Amino acid sequence: MKKIPVAILGATGTVGQRFIQLLADHPWFEIKALTGSSRTAGGRYGDGVNWKLHGDVPEQFADMIVQDTKPNLDVEIVFSALPTQQAKEMEPEFANAGYVVATNAGAYRMPLDIPLMIPEVNPDHVDLIKTQQAERGWKGYIIANTNCSVATVMLPLKIWDDAFGLESIHMVTMQAISGAGYPGVPSLDILGNVIPHIGKEDWKLENEPKKLLGKVASGKLQVADIKISAHANRVAVIDGHMASVSCGFKNLASEADAIAAFKEWQIPAEIQALPSCPDRLMVYRDEADRPQPRLDSNWGEGLAWTVGKVRECGVLDMKFVSLAHNTLRGAASGSVLNAELLVQRGIISR
Amino acid sequence: MKKIPVAILGATGTVGQRFIQLLADHPWFEIKALTGSSRTAGGRYGDGVNWKLHGDVPEQFADMIVQDTKPNLDVEIVFSALPTQQAKEMEPEFANAGYVVATNAGAYRMPLDIPLMIPEVNPDHVDLIKTQQAERGWKGYIIANTNCSVATVMLPLKIWDDAFGLESIHMVTMQAISGAGYPGVPSLDILGNVIPHIGKEDWKLENEPKKLLGKVASGKLQVADIKISAHANRVAVIDGHMASVSCGFKNLASEADAIAAFKEWQIPAEIQALPSCPDRLMVYRDEADRPQPRLDSNWGEGLAWTVGKVRECGVLDMKFVSLAHNTLRGAASGSVLNAELLVQRGIISR
Amino acid sequence: MKKIPVAILGATGTVGQRFIQLLADHPWFEIKALTGSSRTAGGRYGDGVNWKLHGDVPEQFADMIVQDTKPNLDVEIVFSALPTQQAKEMEPEFANAGYVVATNAGAYRMPLDIPLMIPEVNPDHVDLIKTQQAERGWKGYIIANTNCSVATVMLPLKIWDDAFGLESIHMVTMQAISGAGYPGVPSLDILGNVIPHIGKEDWKLENEPKKLLGKVASGKLQVADIKISAHANRVAVIDGHMASVSCGFKNLASEADAIAAFKEWQIPAEIQALPSCPDRLMVYRDEADRPQPRLDSNWGEGLAWTVGKVRECGVLDMKFVSLAHNTLRGAASGSVLNAELLVQRGIISR
Amino acid sequence: MKKIPVAILGATGTVGQRFIQLLADHPWFEIKALTGSSRTAGGRYGDGVNWKLHGDVPEQFADMIVQDTKPNLDVEIVFSALPTQQAKEMEPEFANAGYVVATNAGAYRMPLDIPLMIPEVNPDHVDLIKTQQAERGWKGYIIANTNCSVATVMLPLKIWDDAFGLESIHMVTMQAISGAGYPGVPSLDILGNVIPHIGKEDWKLENEPKKLLGKVASGKLQVADIKISAHANRVAVIDGHMASVSCGFKNLASEADAIAAFKEWQIPAEIQALPSCPDRLMVYRDEADRPQPRLDSNWGEGLAWTVGKVRECGVLDMKFVSLAHNTLRGAASGSVLNAELLVQRGIISR
């Protein structure tokens, strides 16, 4: 079967590097183009990139010539790791020109006709694509994944929402430095320290989940009616965002019920069929001191959610701790899984 | 004026070392005895201690002979840095024998007749001393300070409780490694990591504040009726416990009111008169990314609370971030301030 | 072909855990017994171990009952991760009883009749085994691997010794905390700090290399005549010991020669045949800022040496930086490779 | 007595901030002007600076208007914290215009007529000032302090050079992140890592000491004839550069002699008279595991050298470990002490 040709927009940054790593030997997709800024375009990728992942630049891409980020690429899907401002400008151009834009950027997460997706959480939101194309007159479309901190908590929240009905969510996150890209957080700011502020992360944590937990009917998204409070902190961790989460339920639930909901969750067949889906997507740890970023970020090749410490909350109903790998589950892999779902559902044809 | 002779029980540990540092040149108190375990008793303090503070062991104490922890010391006040189990056994013996036991240990924080005190928060709880002596038949008494994580948040909570009436408190802490003493947290556990569990800290955070915010009338303590949920995390910070706190109020308050309550708080005259009271006890930072442990733990010689990020909470009413130095405000200094208050109120006479 | 039954002595510690991880699916060896201290013996391994590696205890060992460390095990080879004192006492008993003792402990590294081995460096030292058995009257024998800091530098040193003849070596190491085991280094000591002292590590670095670079003739070891100065430092790194090394040569060499010696080194056929031998054992980095522990410790599945920064030394002749994974190359894997070499050479028969 | 008016060039950076902190209440100097880049010039200092030191911007300077860096300031001395390129261009203009330029920048450290000074090490190099003015026709002059890593080791080296005659020096440094300024080292590069490369630091460490240990006669500097090899590493430490140093001597010395040289060194009377001179400038630690950056960087208000671990070197003669605070002893304070020496010697008149 022929592979689908894809491009990576903004391929030299840290998320772009992850895209390359993830797609280098992908069974369905084949990287045919890499784009970069004016600084790197026209040169070898191996020369333009400051490779920050373990190992070396995969050989087959080191010699690829970096192109300008323009909708003249001979591919079907573009994975976007563009900076926000450039994403805002260029992603509609690509969508208009007929490309599928699977974006990790934040520019188009919130419009109601653009699916903000985690395949394990809200696969049916792909139904928004038709609405999007109809309303905007695009031949292609944009499908977005969430902010990395939001990704960290979404599957557990979805499971509890399905089981008990979420009324309120209180989240305090402790987030890894890799979430800020490179050079990102100065070491003088974070070594032996905690920074109680990360850009507009609180707002994203308070709004993106309402969209992901919303219902799509007749091509329209009804955003979920949940009260959310979030406070994002940066900690001296390399990879792995952790969140301390308290939830208020519509339906009463015992601690045993709440734990069982996590433990008994099964990967849907549709998701299992995706090439990037690992054996485990939900890891429940019984130990009082887990999950921990250093020990638990890499379950399921960095795609699993690790949860633990489910117990009654003295203020809301129930609380837990959630952890996921922010640059894998939280970024590049999210876009790849979104694209895989589109193929699996036949929205992109192979 | 003659100084009051005091002893430090458990003087070789990290809290014991802080007591020595704080009391070395105290205007009211004079260290006359140091006690230690069977390993160190009988030897020079300088030989028995593994000094972990900056600088060297103060010269006048290096040659002092460490004594057994028995109530035969020629002092009036004993500052206790004993380990919990030993504190449980020995502190009543000291109190029974007529000593004032100003303890940092956790063994006797919760009995209703033992004042659990932060002078800036609940000075009137000293009225429990008479009840304690009457009920237990002790010539002396025990006065305790809080767990270090609780100390971190108490003055801000007290201020908001006075102003708006607290109904509920949700706290997620990020706590420094020095809170675990020495050797304490293994580096393999915490370097580049977060541990979402600290012994019984959640329970302490959910219960001690109710006692501190309670009212004493006719020698009886009425514990405060507040719903509290707490989750304590250990982070790779040397000194300074930080807490992300959301509060529900009885009386409506605007963000401006909530900030003003912090900014306008004044040090009570009685507290200002204490020798250890610094110029500033409450520091409000307007920056979005403050307080931070590395930048803000040492205000007021490590005794001040630094607060910031007051804003509306999407689930409860209002939230903020609180920070204090855990081994100064949170431990040894707390006991010293308690003893100073007893002198200031004439309960201990000079 | 039948697998050789082996045991792990001291299986619950951090090195013991690595042995289990490495031998869980080994093509030549099969773990038949695990031993532990009086605390863990008699119970399930899964209950006795405080598992510190990524993932969980491999299932097949979680239920194995931990045995006492006594030479009554039904195996041929024992891999020893015993603490020094116990190793000193028990390893000769095992060797005397006919076991092959492949030890990572430090108790028997220095006697001249006990091979101190890194297969890539001094495979011919296996000839000492006969001498050892003859002199000591043992049916079995002990074969040791080096201290983890020594392992870090030995292959590069061997390569330069072969090429240019080493006269003097000056080493300053920056070593990872995992080298101290668990709980090991207290976080209060190492977070944001460097400790310029690691037990007897300087002595080991100044003496073990002379034994490894020595020649064996007629079953006798002639220790190498090289001047060595070493200074070991502990740094806040999880895994990966790094060394800044300056060398004085017998034969003049240009910088280009010195680099070429590293780049052109080939894995000997005998070593390539070992099951644990990775594709790459020597990685040369041209970048000025490499090797780095976080980026380069895992080459060759943690068994490779990464070297770089070869340049003239203003005091001796030539200098470089060497890095290796201290708990893989430096500890458990070293013992496993030693045992594999014994099988490969037919000294242990399958 | 009237204070001498001074300016700080490049006052908003991290070294500029230290200058302000050090000179805020100086008995001899009074800050009359602050200069900055085009971004900050014309605005309030409090608005332009991203204050990174503990506490707040000293009140008296927060409202001062930042000026352009041009030689039209109404002061006698300018303390330069300019970036290298700007220093290269502007410092000669200031010197030519009659200002005393006490610079922390690296642009003019190496010309033989410009004194590269640490007052405790080579105060007589002030004699180069006349040569400098004569040769260059300047009314003012430049006096430089060393790179921060060089400062870390210079007093101990001077003491041994005076006592035993240095022939060779081998240095491996482990340097703090604050040495790179702000934002400086990205946290992704240094957290849990060591970077074996710092710009041109090796070259500076191999060359600046030869100038400082040189002799001035008849206004001419004779650079010292010493072989030096250096390797600079960046480690995850906030403040405090540490160096592992081995030395070859002209005259034999025992370990006892070598230690005594450090312990018996006395602060010269001329240095004691300087306002910034602390009580202790040389701290010798007998413990095997000292000095350590976190415990020993702040002796003598950050101006002292802490040394320890003197012992025989297996390759050269004797080795030791040296530590100093890189942004105090190593940067701003060095310039201030240089200026104080000029006043003390009457070269600048009060």
Report how many Cβ contacts below 8 Å link chain A to chain D.
56
- Find, in chain C, the residue whose alpha carbon is nearest to that of D312: C229
pLDDT (tens digit per residue) in D7-63: 999 999 989 999 999 999 999 999 999 999 999 999 999 999 999 888 889 989 999
Residues of chain C with Cβ-Cβ distance to A188 below 8 Å are: none
User: Does B191 contact chain D (CB < 8 Å)?
Assistant: yes
Q: State residue D187 phi and psi, 5-degree precision.
A: -65, -35
Give the CA-trace dihedral at B125, B129, B135, B139, to 10 degrees.
Answer: 170
pLDDT at B53: 85
3-state helix/strand/coil string of C131-173? HHHHHHCCCCEEEECCCHHHHHHHHHHHHHHHHHCEEEEEEEE
Task: Name, in order, each residue with C-beta under 8 angstroms of B166's C-beta and a sequence gap of 6 or more.
Answer: B157, B160, B213, B224, B226, B247, B248, B249, B250
Three-class secondary structure of residue B229 per DSSP? strand
List the helix and strand counts (H, then E) for chain A.
13, 13
Yes or no, beta carbons of C298 and A191 under 8 Å apart: no
pLDDT (tens digit per residue) in A252-308: 999 999 999 999 999 999 999 999 999 999 999 999 999 999 999 999 999 999 999
CA distance B267 to B288: 25
Task: Give the tokens for residue C118.
Answer: 């890194």
Q: Which residues of chain A, if any, have pLDDT below 70? A: none
Please report the ipTM that was assigned to this predicted complex.
Answer: 0.95
pLDDT (tens digit per residue) in B53-72: 888 899 899 999 999 999 99
Contact C191, B176 (CB under 8 A): no
CATH of domain B4-147+331-344: 3.40.50.720
- Find, in chain B, the residue whose alpha carbon is nearest to that of D283: B55
Per domain, the residue ranges of chain A are 4-147+331-344, 148-325
β-strand D241-249 against A77-80: which pairing, if any? unpaired
User: Does D54 contact chain B (CB < 8 Å)?
Assistant: yes
pLDDT at B325: 97
User: Does C54 contact chain A (CB < 8 Å)?
Assistant: yes
Yes or no, beta carbons of A294 and B170 under 8 Å apart: no
Q: Is the pLDDT of residue C117 over 80?
A: yes
Percent over 90 (pLDDT), chain C = 96
Note the pTM of the prediction, 2 decimals.
0.96
pLDDT (tens digit per residue) in B187-214: 999 999 999 999 999 999 999 999 999 9
- Find, in chain C, the residue whose alpha carbon is nearest to that of B51: C189
pLDDT (tens digit per residue) in B243-257: 999 999 999 999 999
pLDDT at A350: 79
C140: confidence class by pLDDT, cuts 50, 70, 90:
very high
Chain B interface mutation, best of D17, D295, D301, D323, highest count of B Cβ atoms under 10 Å: D295
pLDDT at D350: 79
* Number of Cα atoms under 13 Å in the Cβ half of residue B181: 18
D23–chain B nearest CA distance, Å:
21
User: Does B189 contact chain C (CB < 8 Å)?
Assistant: yes
CA distance B332 to B19: 6
pLDDT (tens digit per residue) in D170-191: 999 999 999 999 999 999 999 9
CA distance A32 to D255: 66
B108–chain D nearest CA distance, Å:
34
Contact D163, D318 (CB under 8 A): no
B89: confidence class by pLDDT, cuts 50, 70, 90:
very high
CA distance C303 to C3: 23
Residues of chain C with Cβ-Cβ distance to B182 below 8 Å are: 186, 188
CA distance B154 to D234: 40
Interface of A with B in 205-234 (CB under 8 A): 206, 227-231, 233
pLDDT at D93: 98
Long-range contacts of C217-224 (CB under 8 A, 24+ apart): C219/C127, C219/C128, C219/C130, C219/C131, C220/C112, C220/C131, C221/C112, C221/C113, C221/C125, C221/C128, C223/C112, C224/C161, C224/C166
User: Does D319 contact chain C (CB < 8 Å)?
Assistant: yes
Contact B109, B208 (CB under 8 A): yes
Q: Is the pLDDT of residue D233 over 90?
A: yes
Yes or no, beta carbons of A196 and B321 under 8 Å apart: yes
- What number is the average pLDDT over the span B157-169? 98
Cα distances from C71 to residues A54, A63, B271, C77, in angstroms, run: 43, 59, 69, 11
pLDDT (tens digit per residue) in C167-216: 999 999 999 999 999 999 999 999 999 999 999 999 999 999 999 999 99
Yes or no, beta carbons of A292 and B248 under 8 Å apart: no
Q: Could you say which of A125, A170, A241, A325 is catalytic?
A: A241
User: Does C187 contact chain B (CB < 8 Å)?
Assistant: yes
pLDDT at D56: 87
Residues of B designated as active site: 148, 241
B284–chain A nearest CA distance, Å:
14
Chain-wide mean pLDDT for chain D?
96
Q: Which of C196, C229, C289 sits opposite D315 (nearest CB)?
A: C229
3-state helix/strand/coil string of B22-89? HHCCCCCEEEEEEECCCCCCCCEHHHHCCCCCCCCCCHHHHCCECECCCCCCCCCEEEECCCHHHHHH
CA angle B28, B33, B37 (to 5 degrees): 135
Q: Which of B184, B188, B192 sits opposite C184 (nearest CB)?
A: B188
- What number is the average pLDDT over the span C238-248? 98
Query: Residue type for D62, please?
Result: A
User: Does A179 contact chain B (CB < 8 Å)?
Assistant: no
pLDDT at B165: 98
B52: confidence class by pLDDT, cuts 50, 70, 90:
confident
Report how many Cβ contacts below 8 Å link chain A to chain B.
129
CA distance A93 to A75: 15
Three-class secondary structure of residue C37 per DSSP? coil
Chain-wide mean pLDDT for chain B?
96
CA distance A88 to A110: 12
Task: Give me the residues paired with residue B233 across strands.
Answer: B174
C1: confidence class by pLDDT, cuts 50, 70, 90:
confident
Interface of A with B in 101-140 (CB under 8 A): none
CATH architecture of B148-325: 2-Layer Sandwich (3.30)
β-strand A220-222 against A215-217: which pairing, if any? antiparallel
Percent over 70 (pLDDT), chain A = 100
pLDDT at D329: 93
pLDDT at A53: 85
Yes or no, beta carbons of A316 and B229 under 8 Å apart: yes
D297–chain C nearest CA distance, Å:
11
Three-class secondary structure of residue B310 per DSSP? strand
Helix D255-263 and helix D148-164, axial crossing angle in degrees, nearest 10: 120
pLDDT (tens digit per residue) in D319-333: 999 999 999 999 999
- Find, in chain A, the residue whose alpha carbon is nearest to that of C299: A55
Task: Name, in order, each residue with C-beta under 8 angstroms of D177's C-beta and a sequence gap of 6 or more.
Answer: A187, A188, A191, D184, D185, D190, D234, D236, D237, D238
Residues of chain C with Cβ-Cβ distance to D296 below 8 Å are: none
Query: Residue type for A201, please?
Result: E
User: Does C54 contact chain B (CB < 8 Å)?
Assistant: no
User: Does D183 contact chain B (CB < 8 Å)?
Assistant: no
Residues of chain A with Cβ-Cβ distance to C192 below 8 Å are: 191-192
Cα distances from B134 to residues B77, B87, B99, B214, in angstroms, run: 20, 21, 15, 21
Yes or no, beta carbons of C313 and D229 under 8 Å apart: yes
The residue with tokens 């704080």 is B22
- Find, in chain D, the residue whose alpha carbon is nearest to that of A176: D188
Residues of chain D with Cβ-Cβ distance to A188 below 8 Å are: 52, 177-178, 182-185, 238
Q: Could you say which of C26, C125, C170, C241 is catalytic?
A: C241
The residue with tokens 């998701």 is A271
Q: Is the pLDDT of residue D259 over 80?
A: yes
User: Does C298 contact chain A (CB < 8 Å)?
Assistant: yes
pLDDT (tens digit per residue) in D80-115: 999 999 999 999 999 999 999 999 999 999 999 999
D192–chain A nearest CA distance, Å:
9
